[in-house]
A and B are shown apart, each in its own frame.
Chain A
Amino acid sequence: MSLQLTKSKALAFSLPALIAILPFLGACFYIFRFSISGEQSRIEGFSIQPYVDLMTPYFGRSVWLTLRLAFIATILAMMMAVPLAFLLTSLRSPFARRSLTIVILLPLILNLLVQAYGWILLLGPSGVLNSTLRSLGIIERPIFLLFNETGVLLGLVQTSLPLAVFPIVSSVRGISREHLEAASSLGASHWRIFFDVTVPLLRPGLFGAASIVFAFNASAFAIPLLLGGRRVQMMGIAIRDMISPLFNWSGAAAAGMILIFVTMITMLFAAWLARITSEKVER
């Protein structure tokens, strides 16, 4: 007898999860239906007008801004997450490991609003940094780190970091010490080992983590709203503006569909990139 769950049993146990996903799928379908509605405020008839209306430089800039910020934030988060993952796996003491895990996890636990106000207290025009620099006479007018792209990037990197660290931790754990030692015994220096062995073995995990982080950042809403100060029109903000002051429901739905589509294309591209770079040998 197999100790693994059989397919039918696994399916049975998955039923609650599948049922929980159903309303989401329903919502997705509803949004899709709304995005091809003939009317702006209700579902009636069919039209591609909502999509046509979005083909404006304004919305184009929003798409481009979203992709750009999500991409930069993903790169930055990954660059910070890789050393953190190595640090976490190298810690021997369980106390140190747990403490670091909690610190990394904190952004997921804390309310986004609290985190955003934390940044404002620190980096805002009258925040700790600016008032310190001013009292030291280093600057005369406050430097604006928030309510612009810099602020949004800071927020995105900080909130998405835990999503990057933990998938990488599990792939770092998967690299055996003997692989690294084998490379070393064959004459590879630390850097060679890193690029010839560590990175290729980490690659699937890195792409996986980067995809999650990218999708999370591209669909961000609270961070650009709170730290972008309405000046940084990421798609989440643009969609809300269509709904809230303009009551353009079909346009918002179409913009939502475009956001989902663009994110999926990017993730598929990442998965494809992961495959061609690692399967050169393994076929």
Chain B
Amino acid sequence: MTSDIHLHINKVSKRFGTVDALRDVDLKIERGSFVCLLGPSGCGKTTLLRIIAGFEAATKGSLILDGQDISNQPPHKRGFGMVFQSLALFPHMSVARNIGYGLKLRGVKGAAQRDRVEELLNVIQLPHIADRPVSALSGGQRQRVAIARALAIQPPLFLLDEPLSALDAQLRDNMQIELRQLQQKFGVTTVLVTHDQHEAMMLADELVVLKDGAIRQSAPPSQIYNNPADSFVADFLGAANLIEVGAMKGGAIDLFGTPVKSSPPHRDGEQMLAAVRAEHIGLSTVGKDDKAGVGAISFMRDLGAATEFVVTIDGKDLRVRRTSAQVQGLNVGSKVGLTFDPSMVSLFKAP
């Protein structure tokens, strides 16, 4: 199968003064895919998006769009639709003129422009707001108008810079679904920047985790979730326990009594870290003879569909999440056995 590469970010580096904002970032984005750039603040994700949009120039490297080097093209020639963190709707224009602005610049005028604007307003399910001033819209409406404005010009690339961060949780959830549906409807190659791993998991076909200006892992969300490339990725993707498990012996480590095999490049004698997600740890009742893997529940809370525990074992606190049906009869102070599925444990060399 040959993949259809739409944009190749070719070994891009960016320096601001003495700070390396991006180091040798190399990324191939498939046509029609939804890519999320995820990372903590200062990881370079926004800088990378701004380089793609053309607002910043890369210090080294190039951008290849459909085989063409566009590194030196100014942003208005690239014509990538972009949704900004502040949305940046023009306050002096009506909704229709905001959405129609890119069309006007492309010579689409009069009835043709009106029809296209109307079509987009229908797509974002706000058919009756064309003549309203932007200041009269709610947060969610502004959001949709900003998306419609960017998509109106049928951009080759659709770029979004933390567009949902200003919305409240419920609205953000809905907008994520809507955004994903719109992207699929238009089939447009999309790059979204976010620091919210739930949002990234929800939206992305391809998830790119950045730290300190470098890509730590780039893969589909489920793969990153289940097989994080390093302890940072495991930790950043949330709810993972990072456990110091001591030195490797005989090709395996000992995780509270459960042996977990490791493969090269790790060698015997190396200090290791194990990452296990809260929902991948099993709880069992304890018999008299059990010694290994026994801990005490030091905290629990019922979240409705699931119950979350903190189990203290060998002086370490582990987070465990079980469905509520599995945990009848457990209380704070109860002794429990911890069971691990070795295939759900990721091992990293301790830093």
Contact = CB atoms under 8 A, between A and B. Distances in A.
Interface of A: 176, 178-179, 181-189, 192, 196-197, 200-201, 278, 281-283
A184 B53 CA distance: 10
B256 interface: no
Contact of B76 (A176, A189, A282): A189
Contacts of B86: 176, 178
Contact of B150 (A176, A185, A189): A185
A220 B17 CA distance: 49
Contact of B149 (A186, A278, A282): A186
Interface in B63-107: 74-76, 78-82, 84-86, 88-94, 97, 101-102, 105-106
Count class of interface residues, chain B = 20 to 34
Interface of A is mostly: helix
Contacts, number: 75
Contact of B88 (A181, A187, A283): A181
B103 to A, nearest CB: 9
B92 A282 contact: yes
Interface in B121-135: 133, 135
B310 interface: no
A184 B76 contact: yes
Contact of A185 (B81, B85, B90, B106): B81
Contact of A283 (B75, B81, B91, B133): B133
B92 A188 contact: no
B114 to A, nearest CB: 16
Contacts of A200: 90, 92
A186 B133 contact: no
B105 A181 contact: no
Given A186-B102, A281-B93, 13 more contacts: A176-B86, A182-B84, A182-B89, A183-B90, A184-B54, A184-B55, A185-B159, A186-B149, A187-B102, A201-B92, A281-B133, A282-B92, A283-B133
Contact of B133 (A183, A184, A282): A282
B248 interface: no
Contacts of B209: none
B203 interface: no
B90 A197 contact: yes
B101 A183 contact: yes
B109 to A, nearest CB: 14
Interface in B22-67: 53-55
Given A176-B86, A281-B97, A282-B133, A185 B75 contact: yes
B153 A179 contact: no
Given A182-B82, A187-B105, A278 B92 contact: yes
A200 B133 CA distance: 15
Nearest to A182: B88
B212 to A, nearest CB: 25
B84 A281 contact: no
A176 B53 CA distance: 17
Contacts of A186: 76, 79, 81, 101-102, 105, 149-150, 153
A236 to B, nearest CB: 38
Nearest to B53: A185
A19 to B, nearest CB: 38
Contacts of B159: 185
B55 A181 contact: yes
Given A187-B105, A196-B101, A282-B133, A178 B75 contact: no
